[in-house]
């Protein structure tokens, strides 16, 4: 039975059971029962009296238990950004109103299910006339109230409207003295102590909902953040350069400058987050400023991570360039891109959290659409495993000359998803790494030797001794040239072409790159030309010769003596002549003094125009 049939049969079975038992309803799931059962209300918040006692005791303790005090506040309108400050201000308001007798407030028996005030939804603590009539004679409190209200879960808390208006009510009552024997809230808060020391004009005057001193504080915070930004950049720039030089790495000055820039912004943003609450800004302003600063800090952090990854990658890339192996040249960019992806994902999660975007529903959506996501990410996974294949099997490295399918060029970059090949037309071809798992890679860059095969055509009237000397001279050139393979080469008279005698030259160059190979081939070919001129060997070109037959030719040929047969030492003398000719041709060559270094691209020479560029007696280029 297939795996698909099993869940289908199970579903049909459950459906049939439900159809046959319609008169007997199924019991509700355990989750539904748990949801219907109300949670018990904690004793600390089961009545207005209990809530008031819990709040006052938490604020009177040394140190204050702000977590317990905040639990007595309904923060649905004010938010949690200023909860601790609101609790301190509420405590100061109560200490200016009266000696609170919490035991006189309705208790749990009065507001409980069987109590006389079971239907009561709120209790107005302030203003309560005539107990608080004296305050109205001294301060206009307007419509501000202190109310304890029952929440949806049955707990009694200071109402949301009360908490939202605590700041404005405190500003109206702050000039009243604290009643005898009660704690001064300014001794509990640095912010309130600082505000009490400021002139009244700065505390009471407002512009666009903010007090004057708050505007001044914002300016100071912004200015301090900018100073921190510049200071951090200067310190990190100097420190990073010394550290990189001490570790033996190299990094461009521009890269270091770009790296330290976001770190300064991140430090400034963290400073603003740490101290912005000291300004006691209104809730409406904090709801805008705090998410904005958090978002800015997260962006600066992600930016700093990206720049730091580039800087570290550049340092390690400079170290990898000094090593013989190329695997580190391949790993550094791959690891750098992987770290950047990790930083991006990590940063997006925290940015979403700073914007109050719930991550759990998004992850649940990914779980539901996992199959579709897997199909969509199939190519990405295939390319990822292709990049692992490049790292493990190492079919090529950065800088190799490769042929992959129809693409031929030099490997320029190996990334997380694809590899880039610079063709000889200077175009850039991007090859998905998934193709490399199945593709045939012809790596010319892994060649130890680079073959050079050609035919040198000489005229038919060249004497055999000269041909022998010419061939041996070419062999001697191969033996002497610094980049030629010495243990295997072929130089022979190879074939009789229609208009020439062809000498085969089959040689290998042990060159590190194509440019050096071309340079050494160029040197060898020039020396062969010089050798031919020195021996008097002429190169052939396609010609047609018309011979007129004469009858006297046969008679003359019959009476002419036969040509002498070659002696036993003629060939050896010819080979010796060839070697001597090579010595004469290459006597002044620069490479006779030492093996030239691989080719290096340099700027145009500023030598005198009359200077000799090419030697006419040696094989240097």
* SS3 of residue 537 by DSSP: coil
Percent of the residues in the chain that have a pLDDT greater than 70, as a whole number? 71
Asked which of 44-48, 177-181, 289-293, 354-358 is least confident by mean pLDDT, the reply is 354-358
pLDDT digits (tens, 9 = 90+) for 401-420: 888 878 888 888 776 677 88
Residue 239 has a CB neighbour count (10 Å cut-off) of 11
Q: Are 16 and 10 in contact (CB under 8 A)?
A: no
Contact 502, 495 (CB under 8 A): yes
The span from the CA of 618 to the CA of 621, in Å, is 9
**Which carries the bigger pLDDT value, residue 612 or residue 31?**
31
Query: Has residue 620 got a pLDDT over 60?
Result: no
**Per mean pLDDT, which range of 12-16, 96-100, 178-182, 227-231 is the poorest?**
12-16
Run of H or E including 156: strand 156-158
pLDDT at 538 (0 to 100): 92
Which residues lie closer than 8 Å to 312 by C-beta, 6 or more apart? 336
Residues 527-539, mean pLDDT to the nearest whole number: 93
Please tell me what DSSP assigns to residue 184.
Answer: P
Enumerate domains of the chain plus CATH numbers.
Answer: 43-197 (no CATH), 213-357 (no CATH), 389-446 (2.30.30.60), 450-544+568-592 (3.30.70.100)
426: left (phi over 0), alpha (psi -120 to 50) or beta: left
| C-alpha to C-alpha distance for 343 and 347, rounded to whole angstroms | 6
Q: Comparing C-alpha atoms, which of 383, 381, 240 is closest to residue 312?
A: 240
Instruction: Name the pTM for this structure.
Output: 0.47
Based on its alpha-carbon atoms, the radius of gyration of the chain, rounded to whole angstroms, reads 46
Q: How confident is the model at residue 38 (pLDDT cuts 50, 70, 90)?
A: low
- Placement of tokens 């600063």 in the chain: 293
pLDDT class for 393, splitting at 50, 70, 90?
Answer: low
Q: In the predicted model, is pLDDT for residue 277 greater than 90?
A: no
Given pLDDT bands bounded at 50, 70 and 90, which one contains residue 200?
A: low
Per-residue pLDDT tens for 577-589? Answer: 888 888 888 888 8
Q: Find the length of the chain.
A: 621
Average pLDDT, the chain: 75
As a whole number of angstroms, the longest Cα–Cα distance in the chain is 161
Q: What is the pLDDT of residue 567?
A: 64
| Range scoring the smallest mean pLDDT among 74-78, 175-179, 371-375, 539-543 | 371-375
Helix or strand or coil: residue 557? helix
**pLDDT tens string 221-243:** 888 888 888 888 888 887 877 77
First to last CA, the chain: 79
DSSP letters along 104-116, please?
GS--HHHHSTTST
Q: Which of 429, 452, 590, 421 is nearest to 514 (CA)?
A: 452
Share of the chain above pLDDT 90, in %: 11
73-126: pLDDT as tens digits: 988 887 777 788 888 888 888 888 888 888 888 888 888 888 888 888 888 888
pLDDT for 542-559, tens place per residue?
877 676 666 655 666 666
For the segment 567-578, the average pLDDT, to the nearest whole number, is 82
* Mean pLDDT (whole number) for 423-439: 79
pLDDT mean over 594-618: 54
Q: Which residues pair with 411 in a beta bridge?
A: 421
Which tops the pLDDT comparison, 338 or 465?
465
pLDDT level of residue 434 (50, 70, 90 thresholds): confident
- Model confidence band, residue 384 (pLDDT cutoffs 50, 70, 90): low
């Amino acid at each position: 039975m297939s795996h698909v049939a099993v869940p289908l049969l199970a579903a049909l079975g459950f459906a049939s059971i439900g159809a046959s038992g319609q008169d007997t309803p199924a019991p509700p799931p355990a989750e539904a029962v748990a949801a219907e059962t109300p949670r018990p209300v904690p004793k600390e918040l089961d009545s207005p009296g209990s809530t008031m006692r819990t709040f006052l005791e938490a604020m009177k303790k040394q140190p204050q238990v702000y977590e317990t005090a905040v639990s007595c506040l309904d923060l649905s309108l004010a938010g949690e950004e200023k909860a601790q400050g609101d609790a301190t201000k509420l405590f100061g308001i109560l200490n200016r109103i009266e000696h609170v007798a919490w035991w006189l407030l309705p208790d749990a028996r009065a507001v409980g299910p069987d109590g006389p005030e079971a239907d009561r939804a709120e209790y107005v603590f302030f203003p309560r006339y005539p107990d608080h009539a004296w305050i109205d004679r001294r301060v206009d409190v307007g419509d501000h109230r202190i109310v304890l209200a029952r929440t949806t879960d049955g707990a009694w808390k200071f109402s949301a409207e009360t908490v939202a208006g605590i700041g404005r009510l405190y500003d109206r009552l702050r000039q009243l003295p604290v009643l005898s024997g009660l704690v001064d809230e300014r001794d509990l808060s640095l912010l309130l102590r600082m505000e009490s020391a400021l002139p009244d004009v700065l505390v009471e005057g407002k512009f666009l909902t903010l007090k004057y001193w708050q505007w001044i504080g914002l300016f100071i915070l912004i200015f301090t953040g900018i100073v921190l930004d510049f200071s951090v950049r200067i310190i990190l720039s100097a420190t990073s350069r010394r550290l990189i030089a001490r570790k033996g790495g190299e990094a461009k000055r521009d890269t270091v400058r770009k790296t330290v820039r976001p770190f300064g912004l991140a430090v400034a943003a963290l400073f603003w987050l740490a101290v912005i609450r000291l300004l006691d800004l209104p809730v409406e302003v904090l709801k805008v400023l705090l998410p904005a600063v958090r978002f800015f800090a997260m962006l600066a952090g992600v930016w700093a991570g990206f720049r730091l990854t580039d800087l570290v990658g550049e340092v390690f890339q400079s170290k990898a360039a000094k090593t013989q192996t190329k695997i580190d040249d391949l790993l550094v960019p791959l690891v750098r891109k992987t770290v950047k992806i990790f930083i991006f994902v990590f940063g997006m999660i925290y940015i979403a959290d700073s914007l109050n975007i719930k991550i759990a529903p998004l992850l649940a959506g990914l779980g539901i659409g996992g199959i579709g996501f897997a199909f969509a990410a199939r190519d990405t996974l295939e390319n990822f495993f292709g990049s692992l294949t490049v790292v493990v099997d190492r079919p090529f490295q950065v800088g190799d000359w490769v042929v992959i399918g129809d693409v031929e060029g030099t490997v320029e970059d190996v990334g997380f998803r694809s590899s880039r090949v610079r063709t000889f037309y200077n175009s850039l071809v991007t090859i998905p790494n998934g193709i490399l798992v199945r593709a045939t890679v012809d790596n010319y860059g892994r060649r130890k030797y680079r073959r050079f095969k050609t035919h040198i055509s000489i005229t038919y009237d060249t004497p055999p001794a000269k041909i022998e000397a010419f061939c041996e001279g070419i062999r001697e050139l191969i033996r002497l040239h610094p980049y030629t393979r010495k243990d295997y080469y072929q130089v022979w008279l190879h074939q009789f072409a229609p208009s020439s005698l062809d000498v085969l030259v089959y040689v290998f160059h042990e060159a590190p790159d194509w440019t050096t190979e071309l340079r050494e081939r160029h040197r060898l070919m020039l020396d062969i030309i010089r050798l031919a001129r020195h021996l008097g060997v002429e190169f052939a070109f396609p010609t047609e010769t018309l011979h007129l037959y004469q009858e006297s030719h046969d008679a003359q040929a019959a009476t002419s003596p036969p040509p002498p047969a070659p002696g036993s030492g003629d060939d050896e003398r010819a080979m010796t002549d060839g070697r001597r000719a090579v010595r004469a041709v290459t006597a002044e060559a620069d490479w006779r003094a030492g093996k030239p270094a691989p080719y290096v691209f340099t700027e145009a020479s500023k030598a005198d125009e009359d200077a000799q560029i090419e030697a006419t007696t040696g094989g240097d280029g």
